[in-house]
Amino acid sequence: MQDLANETGPDIRAIAEIAERAGWPWGPAVLAALPPAETGAQRRGVGLRAWERLDEWQERAPPPPPGNDPVGADEARHRLAALLGEDAEPRPQQADYAAAVAAAFAPRQRPDEPQAVLAEPGTGVGKTLGYIAPASLWAERNQGTVWISTFTRNLQSQIAGELDRLYPDPVQKRRRVVVRKGRENFLCLLNYEEAVRAALGRASPGAASLALIARWIGATAAGDLVAGDFPGWLAELIGRGRINALADRRGECIHAACPHFRRCFVEKNVRAARHARLVVANHALVMAQAALGGLDDASVPTRYVFDEGHHLLEAADAAFSVRLSGQEGRELRRWLLGAETGRSRARGLQRRIGDLVEADEEASAALLETLVAARVLPADGWHQRVGEGRGLPGAEGFLALVRQQVMARALGDSPYGIEAEARPPIDGLVEAGMRLAAGFDRLAGALRRLSAALRRPLEDAENPPEPGMRQRLEAAVRGLERRADMQLAAWSQLLRDLAEPPGPDTVEWLALDRSDNAETDVAVNRNWIDPGKPYALAVAQPAHGLVVSEASQEELRVLELIRHRLEIEQLIAAGFASLMSAAKGGALGLFTAIARLRAVHEKIAPVLEARGLLLLAQHVDAMSTATLVDIFRAEEDSCLLGTDAVRDGVDVPGRSLRLIVFDRVPWPRPDILHRARKPVFGGAAYDDRIARLRLRQAYGRLVRRADDRGIFVILDRALPSRLLPAFPAGVPIARVPLVDAVAATAAFLQEPA
């Protein structure tokens, strides 16, 4: 207690007095140890108003793009030696590891191909300092930021501790190193203020807990409630549920409209990370931000170090999955409508952005439509109604049918949850899902109209909003668009796909979650079969440098395949661009997957446009397939990308179609129907017959008249020879490198007929 004699600030005594009046057992002893109070009465509750004693953040100009100077292997060794000091135990393996990791910080050579290093260091090598050495050297040299990501928050803290070697001065370290977490980990000052007002208004004994939290707010470095400097014993004393309620766990932040915006811990954390040299993050945050299309400020890191790489695909699986459940729907309804019953502090759209739209008739109408359409989502009490099979129209009615199917078909029982296949659906499930999808589409449309109305002031060059209002508008637009274009759009597509056979890349199932035999949620789930695919597209490809450390052999194999797939996808796109350019148009590109079509279109559209070639694409251009084919037929030198519908329906005689390029062998889709028919119709021979038929059908589009001529290319070196009888006798077939195929295409099509 003697240490308290130096606590001369009046706020400290005010906090202790509030805690003592609220019944804190230690209150009398603490007050006795504190210096006497100065004369003059204090305002009631002043000690709890901890936000008033926090510093405000200051906006800074955004940092310029980083440079591209590499880090040499010897340089990494020297930096590591400096970090370890002269008295360190010699560990050649650690120096070798640092030198190997340095290769990830070389300049990128091609778009979508990061400099990747995949490593599995042995136990005791000292991997943390091993990758910190080249990462810190690159960040300093190029004035850039390296994101170090790990799986657990505790390891984040350990890595941050290791960085004391790099930045022994605490002031410099605070500028150069930031521990980055999701906003649900930080204390929300507005939630804390509302809890204070409620406690003082009711003279609640909870004021003692808030007093202890106020003391922590005055001492915390970052406001981190989880694995930060918040005392673990205090969380146990108060209760983790009450602590979590003080964070923003429902996306209700009102950003610049919040009276604490300039002191907000989250805003400080985000802004500090923009200018840091090393950001220590976790896989969940990195993957979630990638799934949302960028960080809080829409930026994307260029260099990553993934520690605990054996958990990387697990984190990707969680971030890129789709889950439509009662709880998820209820959370979205609460975000849109706010608290409809009880004493919840949840703030809906009306309270958060009502003042932004009141002078705009179109925006006001969109907000009203949003609030009406949101009632398709589960309401309070949904769980009991769904469990009784009497859910309200909309999501609840659909979830009641989901629960019925799970209960009817699940094999066995478990106190922790049961599952069932999504297909075939029970009677009424598909119809209810389609009605709910239409409801989601209506809600998403209203959110998009509201977002567009809020975006207009941001694009007004003559009367731009002031910085605080701009930040608030941008945050509101970002939140609305993410929920419309990602959450609701994904739910709607999931529901519509239940009426279709399963796809080759994802798996869907129904679940009834339980905890100790009590039902907690009802859900429809969709996950990628290979989570490496979305990880590659959203994280690996945009990066310039990538280190994956401490990966298991299996993870390394998967990640090597990802890197190989990146190279193959790049080659496929290059192949389409080169071949179509060599043919000078008149080219039809055929794909076996819509996602691959879109990816190739994104890469080759600028290339073909620069060469004066019109590129049309099914599932990209907002036109029917028939219209696309008509344009392709009329524009003799245009190019068209499509899938089965184009292969089956295009009829373009003459020079308008002189080249067909297949992205790969058109094997049949491995759905349930195909699985049932395959053993009946000959096993593997059945697959071959379907593939030959599709190749024959596609080749038949190339030659429609006696004077037609053209080139047929398959960009798949795994084309089996047994499929070649698909082509007419006498057609010359050659297996050649891509460069030779491009040259042969140009030469053949330039020859006179």
534: Cα within 13 Å, side-chain hemisphere: 26
3-state secondary structure labels for all residues of 271-282: HHHHHCCEEEEE
- Angle at the Cα of 361 from the Cα atoms of 355 and 362, rounded to 5 degrees: 105
In what helix (H) or strand (E) does residue 304 lie, and over which residues does it extend? Answer: strand 303-306
Picking from 679, 678, 713, the residue whose alpha carbon sits closest to that of residue 572 is 713
Mean pLDDT of 295-321: 82
pLDDT at 539: 87
Q: How confident is the model at residue 38 (pLDDT cuts 50, 70, 90)?
A: low
Average of per-residue pLDDT values in the chain: 84
Helices and strands (H, E) in the chain, number of each type: 30, 15
Which of the two residues, 153 and 186, has the higher pLDDT score?
186
- Angle at the Cα of 576 from the Cα atoms of 575 and 582, rounded to 5 degrees: 90
Which of the two residues, 480 and 202, has the higher pLDDT score?
480
3-state secondary structure labels for all residues of 193-231: HHHHHHHHHHCCCCHHHHHHHHHHHCCCCCCECCCCCCC
pLDDT at 557: 55
Mean pLDDT of 276-301: 81
Q: What top-level class would CATH report for the domain 569-750?
A: alpha beta
**High-pLDDT (> 70) share of the chain, %:** 87
CA distances from 496 to 175, 326, 432, 441, 448 (A): 49, 18, 10, 11, 21
pLDDT at 377: 97
Most confident of 315-319, 402-406, 705-709: 402-406
Lowest mean pLDDT among 31-45, 492-506, 580-594, 693-707: 31-45
Residue 1 scores a pLDDT above 50:
no
Residue 745 scores a pLDDT above 80:
yes
> If DSSP codes are grouped into helix, strand and coil, which group holds residue 460?
coil
Mean pLDDT of 181-185: 84
Q: How confident is the model at residue 37 (pLDDT cuts 50, 70, 90)?
A: low
Q: How confident is the model at residue 563 (pLDDT cuts 50, 70, 90)?
A: low
CATH 3.30.160 fits 45-320+543-551, yes or no: no
Which of the two residues, 681 and 380, has the higher pLDDT score?
380
Which of the two residues, 61 and 382, has the higher pLDDT score?
382
Q: How confident is the model at residue 36 (pLDDT cuts 50, 70, 90)?
A: low
pLDDT at 22: 66
Q: What is the CA radius of gyration of the chain?
A: 30
Q: Is the pTM of this model over 0.85?
A: no
Q: How confident is the model at residue 202 (pLDDT cuts 50, 70, 90)?
A: low
| CB within 8 Å of 192: residues ≥ 6 apart | 50, 51, 210, 213, 217, 246
pLDDT at 434: 96
Lowest mean pLDDT among 102-106, 299-303, 440-444, 454-458: 299-303
Beta strands 417-421; 506-515: pairing state: antiparallel
pLDDT at 564: 55
List phi, psi (to 5°) of 625. -60, -40
Contact 329, 377 (CB under 8 A): yes
What phi-psi label fits residue 169: left (phi over 0), alpha (psi between -120 and 50 degrees) or beta?
beta
Mean pLDDT of 528-548: 87
> If DSSP codes are grouped into helix, strand and coil, which group holds residue 148?
strand
Which of the two residues, 176 and 571, has the higher pLDDT score?
176
Picking from 7, 1, 42, the residue whose alpha carbon sits closest to that of residue 21 is 42
pLDDT at 40: 46
Tokens of 268: 């400080």
Q: How confident is the model at residue 7 (pLDDT cuts 50, 70, 90)?
A: low
Q: How confident is the model at residue 677 (pLDDT cuts 50, 70, 90)?
A: confident
Which of the two residues, 620 and 341, has the higher pLDDT score?
620
pLDDT at 28: 75
Beta strands 417-421; 711-714: pairing state: unpaired
Other beta carbons within 10 angstroms of residue 613's beta carbon come to: 22
pLDDT tens-digit readout, 418-468: 999 999 999 999 999 999 999 999 999 999 999 999 999 888 888 888 877
In what helix (H) or strand (E) does residue 674 lie, and over which residues does it extend? Answer: helix 672-677
CA distance 133 to 90: 16
Same fold across 45-320+543-551 and 569-750: yes
Lowest mean pLDDT among 103-117, 224-238, 248-262, 568-582: 248-262
**H-only helix segments in 531-634:** 532-535, 553-583, 594-610, 625-634
Contact 532, 317 (CB under 8 A): no
Q: How confident is the model at residue 41 (pLDDT cuts 50, 70, 90)?
A: very low
CA distances from 723 to 648, 663, 674, 715, 720 (A): 19, 16, 19, 15, 6
Domain positions in the chain? 1-42, 45-320+543-551, 325-530, 569-750
Lowest mean pLDDT among 148-152, 404-408, 602-606, 717-721: 717-721
pLDDT at 63: 85
Residue 343 scores a pLDDT above 60:
no
Q: How confident is the model at residue 492 (pLDDT cuts 50, 70, 90)?
A: very high
pLDDT at 390: 83
pLDDT tens-digit readout, 122-176: 666 788 999 999 999 999 999 999 999 998 887 888 899 999 999 999 999 999 9
Mean pLDDT of 326-346: 81
- In single-letter form, the type of residue at position 191 comes to N
pLDDT tens-digit readout, 15-27: 777 777 766 777 6
Lowest mean pLDDT among 73-87, 279-293, 393-407, 650-664: 650-664
Between the two ends of the chain, the Cα-to-Cα distance in Å is 100
Q: How confident is the model at residue 216 (pLDDT cuts 50, 70, 90)?
A: confident
3-state percent breakdown (helix, strand, coil) of the chain, nearest 5:
55, 10, 35
Contact 528, 321 (CB under 8 A): yes
